[in-house]
Amino acid sequence: MRHKKIELWLSNGIDGELSERKKKFLESHIRKCSSCRSYAENIQRIHEEAKRLESPEVSPVYWEEFTSRIRKEIYSVKKEKPQGKALLLRWKWAWAGAALSFVIVTGLFLYLTQNKTPQELYVFSFESSLARIYQEIGSDQELEELFNSVISASIGENLEDSGWGERPDFYENLILWEDLTEEEMRFLESEIKKNNKL
């Protein structure tokens, strides 16, 4: 157990991520322990060799061409933009219309069935719902696994229905993951890893 921790510290030490106190402890341990000393020498050697691996030289012409290709593509995107914007606006109106219809229908429903409806209406965002679920699950590992498998199954089911045939790529959706907290991101990552069997 102790050696495993030593190995972790040795790795951190190579990256310059170790406190002075731990460094001193490591030095004295390595003097006494031959297996840790040998491991330290090996990973240090690997680190130095890896540092010596050099990427191929790329000519300045390549970079000039690369930059001009990007500029060209940006200008072609810019040309297409007005059309895209109009389309986006139409979509926005469509969403607004749908939301308004939903509010009217819900309002009517609540009005007509007033006696049967709960007194308060709760509106949860995705983040607060997730946080609430986590709170409820607590440290119950079995419940957490069940919850995760239900989510995986649900994603799979929806995908089958939509006929996409491929799992969603959370990573590619910048808008989604830039706004997520680290905890939510870790949760999504673990789900993706499970699905991809990394």
Contact residues toward other proteins (CB under 8 A) are 7-8, 11-12, 14-17, 39, 42-43, 45-47, 49-56, 58, 63, 66-67, 69-71, 73-75, 77-78, 169, 171-172, 174-175, 177-178, 182, 185-186, 189, 196, 198
Q: In this structure, what token pair is assigned to residue 6?
A: 């030593």
Q: What is the closest distance, in whole angstroms, from the C-beta atom of residue 56 to other proteins in the complex?
A: 5
**H or E element, residue 3:** helix 2-14
Task: Give the three-class secondary structure for 178.
Answer: helix
Evaluate whether 175 touches 181 at the Cβ level (below 8 Å): no
Q: CB of 109: closest distance to other proteins in angstroms?
A: 36
- Type and span of the H or E element at 32: helix 20-32
Nearer Cβ to other proteins, position 52 or 116?
52
Give the C-alpha separation, 18 to 149, whole Å: 38
DSSP one-letter code for 166: S
CB closer to other proteins out of 107 and 156: 156
Q: How far is the CB of 73 from other proteins (least distance, A)?
A: 6
* Nearest CB to other proteins, comparing residues 39 and 147: 39
Our CB check for other proteins shows the closer of 16 and 118 to be 16
